[in-house]
Amino acid sequence: MGEKKNTKEILVKKEDKKSFDELIEASIEQTKKTQLVRDLKELEGPHSITDLVALIVKKAWESSASDIHIDPQPSSVLIRYRIDGVLHDVLSLKKELHPLIISRIKVLAGLRTDEHFMAQDGRFKVIEGTNEIDLRVSIIPTYHEENVVMRLLVGEARALDLIELGFSARDLDILQRYIKKPYGMILATGPTGSGKTSTLYSILKILNSRNVSIVTIEDPIEYSVAGVTQIQVNTQTNLTFAAGLRSIVRQDPNIIMVGEIRDEETSGIAINAAMTGHLLLSTIHTNDAATTLPRLLDMGAEPFLIASTVNIAIGQRLVRRLCEKCRSQYTLTREETASLSAVIPNELLKKYKSFWKENGCSACNNTGYTKRSGIFEVLEVTEPIRRLIMRRANADEIRVAAKQGGMTTMLEDGFNKAVAGVTSIAEILRVIRD
């Protein structure tokens, strides 16, 4: 306990205080495109590591950052915020402050302050105004000492409506139709950070009522949802996705959400649960919706089980939305059209020539973007798709059949959003270009 008390009371020395001012001013000169660094001039005020860490978290929250990175460098400590999916350098501090910052975060997260060579994970909460912010902490040892990443979450689920997520009218109609089914699987797929969990929480928001039992198993539990039984994976007690899912089925649920299907055992139990009268929601890591079905085959699932249980696969990515205050419309030149034709099908390009682009203003920290939207493809497992699954067709064959059945690909959905001014062509290519 004495070690924790001393950590909280460590004061910033006068010479370090002077360095704060100099490094903040240097950051402002090097980062003229964003207002964020100018806001951090408040760091002239703190006199303790407690105040410094609190202010770093506060500014991250005010900037709508999803993550705070504290990266040790050879001679400094770099503070970075991930805002709308993109990392921004916001502050550089003296190297001597690194162990003090790390110790303070370990104290808050209930981690061992004397352990410096082992990965540690923890959580802590802070109150900012009327919001309770839950911070998920990950600390790993690196060549230049310990690296910290803190994920900012709100205590209660910030589930959005499906329309707010960015689903098109066609995709929304398909999704709502299958949400009403009492059994089967709805799978969200994409890389880490593509918004899969947000999609599942939004579906749970629609399904959550007093006349159904909803049980989830997650790693980690990102948001607390009232009325939903949520289970945290704990490998130390052998509570894995597979073991937890096996127990959940015996808890008389109507709807089950599995954080991720990542191995043969979990996929087998999930498919059996979907076959026995449960609606099962989960995520899986593949590049697009069409690859989801062959991926389940790779995990050892039988083709007839996949064909009879998977209802839809949702492929998705997150793109930054254009700032509505400074975006501007422009027309593609012949050279730009020729360049884009290498990555965007000609049948799309020839439909439109007018798009929108980012400019930058004080409202968007001079980035041209603010907040994010999803781009989606919803693959409905129809009879032609089932026949392809039964003969173990590859992802390309499934994709062609899905497009013939009317599926809008992520590229097409993103293109439509670029035409509508939601995002830019450059942002779509940044996110989904192979």
Pairing status of strand 354-357 against strand 328-331: antiparallel
Residue (of 110, 116, 37) closest to 72 by Cα position: 116
- Residues facing 83 on adjacent strands: 65, 86
pLDDT of residue 181: 93
- Please give the Cα distance from 398 to 114 (Å, whole number): 53
- Please give the Cα distance from 248 to 186 (Å, whole number): 18
Eight-state DSSP code of residue 11: B
- Please give the Cα distance from 39 to 417 (Å, whole number): 32
pLDDT of residue 30: 47
pLDDT of residue 12: 45
Listed as ranges, residues in the chain with pLDDT below 50 are 1-15, 20, 23-24, 27-36, 157, 434
Who contacts 91 (Cβ-Cβ below 8 Å, separation ≥6)? 23, 24, 27, 37, 40, 43, 56, 78, 79
CATH class held by domain 162-433 = alpha beta
Residue (of 424, 387, 434, 416) closest to 166 by Cα position: 416
- Please give the Cα distance from 53 to 43 (Å, whole number): 10
Residue (of 107, 114, 139) closest to 4 by Cα position: 107
The two tokens of residue 39 are: 């806001």
pLDDT of residue 38: 54
Domain spans, the chain: 20-154, 162-433
Q: Which fold has domain 20-154?
A: Beta-Lactamase (3.30.450)
Supply the DSSP string of 145-209, one letter for each residue: EEEEEEEEEESB--PPPHHHHT--HHHHHHHHHHHTSSSEEEEEE-STTSSHHHHHHHHHHHH--
pLDDT of residue 108: 94
Who contacts 352 (Cβ-Cβ below 8 Å, separation ≥6)? 419
- Residues facing 127 on adjacent strands: 132
Query: Whats the size of the chain, residue-wise?
Result: 434
Rounded to the nearest 10 degrees, the angle between the axes of helix 49-62 and helix 98-109 is 70
- Please give the Cα distance from 372 to 85 (Å, whole number): 8
Contact criterion met (CB below 8 Å) for 385 and 292: no
pLDDT of residue 120: 93
Beta strands in 323-429 (DSSP E): 328-331, 354-357, 369-380
Helices H / strands E in the chain, number of each: 18, 15
pLDDT of residue 42: 55
pLDDT of residue 28: 46
* Single-letter amino acid, residue 263: D
**Same fold flag, 20-154 and 162-433:** no
